[in-house]
Structure 1
């Protein structure tokens, strides 16, 4: 499972002209599911993003987590995070999970975030989405549940 985590002042996602999810301070998480992912990958990602310390404390150091500041998450499914463009100019998406598996694990991610008491807004799985992000910092972190980077 791969994620691009962006610290934001606010963000929203629109589908067919309607806002489907919006947050104030927190994270936008672009989430891609790999074909070998399972619940262990979901748990890793939930634990990592809920505890990621990238918000400033009183001394201006990145020392506070999303839960420390009472922040929210806007989750957007994005299979293109599994694109492999090492050969040629056209990415291969062979490692991306099939939609049924990806949706199940994405939904589990959302559910487990909610269980931690964190508000989570969402896009619509497999929809053409317009995501508005006000990246704060900018701070952008790449995560991979297989710890490839």
Structure 2
């Protein structure tokens, strides 16, 4: 719904690129940058190791399968699912950025905190579909 209201995927990515949100291969090693190839690589590697290797949920999942090949299969399934969830999250962020690229909801007083932007976005985008905003809030 949001993609259609924003004029399609191409428009969303063009607005995000114009706003400096799509910096793919900045090789600057400066740790004070918002993001660079090195910072993202280090951050994602440490996140993946902690998520897959040491969280109790994953360790329990791997220990309950009957053999090593099943554990490897569980790692791959978890990894693919995790990537899909992360990509959806990134796309939602780009969608929200493209919607509010010229008007920050926090600074304009529409919401009080940053973590209220996504629910506000859903309520605003889905307001014409009966019941959908209520289902989301619940």
Taking structure 2 as the reference length, the TM-score comes to 0.21
When Rg is computed on C-alpha atoms for both structures, the one with the higher figure is: 2
Flag the structure with higher helix content: 2
Flag the structure with higher strand content: 1
Taking structure 1 as the reference length, the TM-score comes to 0.20
Q: Which has the higher contact order (CA 8 A, sep 6+)?
A: 1
